[in-house]
Every structure is written in C-alpha cells, then in structure tokens.
C-alpha cells in the first residue's frame, strides 16, 4: 500500500516524527477532514520497516514513569512483522521541542 505523502499545499490535522529507542522511529500524519492516520515506521522491537494506515484514535492507558503510574493518552498501532504494539504518548505542553510559556 502506498501512502500519500503530504505536499506543500496539503493541510495536516496532525504530524509527528519521533525516535523510538535505539533502532525505532516513526512518522505519523493525518490530513484535515480525514479519519485515517498514515504511519511510516521502523519497529523498535524487530527493526523492520513498514507503512500502514489506520483510524486515528487515542485511548487512555496507565503507564509507569520513573516508578509512578500515570494515565496518558496513547495512540497505538501494531507492527506488521512481529505483532508488537507500538505506543505513541501524547506530548504535554512541556514536551520535547516545546518552549515554556512565560
């Protein structure tokens, strides 16, 4: 399946590019007025690359961070090769690459 890459005149409702561990990476984008997320990834578990589309929906999951359990909004998709779940947490206002509002 060939994903439609965003062009210069396309409006995106969501875009993220992240590194996952040592060997994983993911790029996710969703066009305005569309429900499907386009995903290009390299799995952090098996190291294989793939692309897929799936409905963009976040769910709440309990995650342990520094020994504390917190509930976060997570977008989850499954690797086509090893069937492991890959979770992308929603970044907060003070997430990586964001300036604090002062």
DSSP 8-state secondary structure symbol assigned to residue 91: P
Q: What are the backbone dihedrals phi and psi of residue 19, each rounded to the nearest 5 degrees, phi first?
A: -95, 140
For 50, counting Cβ atoms within 10 Å of its Cβ (0-12 exposed, 13-18 middle, 19+ buried), the class is middle
Contact 40, 48 (CB under 8 A): no
Q: What is the pLDDT of residues 10-24, one digit of tens each?
A: 999 999 999 998 999
The pTM of this model reads 0.81
Domain residue ranges of the chain, discontinuous segments joined by +: 12-89
Decide if 53 contacts 1 (C-beta within 8 A): yes
pLDDT in tens, 26-44: 999 999 999 999 999 999 9
């Amino acid at each position: 399946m060939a994903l439609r890459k965003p062009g210069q005149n396309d409006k995106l409702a969501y875009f993220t590019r992240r590194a996952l561990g040592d060997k994983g990476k993911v790029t996710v984008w969703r066009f305005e007025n569309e429900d499907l997320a386009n995903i290009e990834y390299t799995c952090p578990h098996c190291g294989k690359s793939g692309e897929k589309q799936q409905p963009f929906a976040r769910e709440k999951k309990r995650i342990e961070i520094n020994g504390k359990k917190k509930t976060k909004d997570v977008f989850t998709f499954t690797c086509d090769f090893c069937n492991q779940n890959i979770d992308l947490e929603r970044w907060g206002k003070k997430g990586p690459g964001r300036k604090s509002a002062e």
